[in-house]
């Protein structure tokens, strides 16, 4: 077995915000295959899937992969990286994409730990261990954009870790949060409901650099959805997940999963329009009409 504390960790590490081209990045990580890597000289103690919801962040993705592969390899993990995106005709849904990533990664390998990770956050200290303890762990405690202070006491967004059993117990994320905001707070409520306690890595270790980006469109229904979360948590999550895989490509540095939603799967969301109207998706090709 690999040692409890990986021997090559140094603490603070540099963050390179320059997006190298794909050829250079791939040449740096010759031992990474199909987005996965495992230690060569010992047996990893943790099988970790890194799940990243994605949309139109090509520059960020190159920076992220260059940084994270070096970070994870030093931690002697048996890991795989999954980039998950939804058809561009459909509004972004972070929680839904995490659920999809969980399903797809679980179908590929016996991962026992899942890291739910935004593509614009880069860890600054390699002692910030990407594994899953006995309770769900919030990893991105101290982000430079927020002066390295926890944004609010119940924050569980950015980067978090849960075991397969923990994530299944709370039924994953809600699938209803289209647009920005609310899905991580809803997940926090699910954890509290199931009497789980969130652990946090110490703020001097759990430090992150946030890459600059344009603010996404807020979901105007997020407060309404949060208030109704308790009534939906048993039926809204990974047990109600419906999607169609458009492509699943095992690239060298990551597994790329692209999905869409069929009209029948969209109908439950018609009450929770981003615009307040009864139609939230306008897809002329498929003629989706939720009114």
Note the pLDDT tens digit of each residue in 159-198: 999 999 999 999 999 999 988 888 999 999 999 999 999 9
Give the pLDDT confidence score for residue 272 in this predicted structure: 52
In a domain, 288, yes or no: no
Residue 277's pLDDT is: 39
Look over the chain and give the mean of its residue pLDDT values, rounded to a whole number: 90
- Domain membership of residue 277 (yes or no) is no
Q: How many residues does the chain have?
A: 291
Position 172 in a domain: yes
Helices (H) and strands (E) in the chain, counts: 8, 12
Confidence class for position 255, pLDDT limits 50, 70, 90: very high
User: pLDDT value at position 133?
Assistant: 92
The answer to whether the CB of 115 falls within 8 A of the CB of 48 is: yes
- Give the β-pairing of 47-53 and 113-117: parallel
Domain presence at residue 121 = yes
Q: What is the pLDDT of residues 113-165, one digit of tens each?
A: 999 999 999 999 999 999 999 999 999 999 999 999 998 999 999 999 999 99
Query: How much is the pLDDT for 284?
Result: 31
- Using alpha carbons, select from 202, 187, 128, 201 the residue that is nearest to residue 154: 187
| Structural domain boundaries, residue 107 | 22-269
Here the CATH number for the domain that contains residue 35 is 3.90.550.10
What confidence score (pLDDT) does residue 220 get?
A: 77
Whether 261 is in a domain gets the answer yes
Split into its structural domains, the chain has a count of 1
CA distances from 211 to 14, 57, 139, 158 (A): 14, 11, 17, 12
């Amino acid at each position: 077995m690999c040692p409890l504390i990986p021997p090559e960790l140094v603490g603070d590490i540099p963050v390179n915000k320059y997006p190298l081209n794909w050829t250079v990045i791939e040449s740096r990580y010759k031992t990474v295959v199909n987005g996965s890597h495992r230690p060569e000289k010992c047996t990893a103690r943790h099988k970790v899937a890194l799940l990243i919801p994605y949309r139109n962040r090509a520059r960020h993705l190159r920076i992220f992969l260059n940084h994270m592969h070096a970070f994870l390899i030093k931690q002697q993990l048996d890991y795989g990286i999954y980039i998950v995106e939804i058809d561009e005709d459909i509004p972004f849904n972070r929680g839904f994409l995490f659920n999809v990533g969980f399903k797809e990664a679980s179908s590929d390998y016996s991962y026992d730990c899942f890291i739910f990770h935004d593509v614009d956050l880069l860890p600054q200290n390699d002692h910030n261990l990407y594994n899953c303890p006995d309770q769900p762990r919030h990893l991105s405690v101290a982000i430079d954009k927020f002066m390295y202070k926890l944004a609010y006491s119940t924050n569980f967004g950015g980067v978090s870790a849960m075991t397969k059993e923990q994530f299944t117990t709370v039924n994953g994320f809600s699938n209803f949060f289209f647009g920005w905001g609310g899905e991580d707070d809803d997940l926090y409520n699910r954890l509290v409901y199931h009497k789980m306690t969130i652990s946090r890595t110490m703020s001097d270790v759990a430090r992150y650099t946030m890459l600059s980006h344009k603010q996404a469109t807020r979901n105007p229904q997020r407060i309404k959805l949060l208030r109704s979360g308790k009534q939906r948590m048993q039926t809204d999550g990974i047990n109600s997940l419906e999607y169609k895989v458009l492509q699943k490509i095992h690239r060298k540095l990551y597994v790329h999963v692209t999905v869409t939603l069929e009209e029948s799967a969209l109908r439950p969301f018609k009450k929770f329009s981003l615009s307040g109207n009864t139609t939230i998706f306008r897809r002329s090709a498929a003629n989706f009409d939720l009114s």
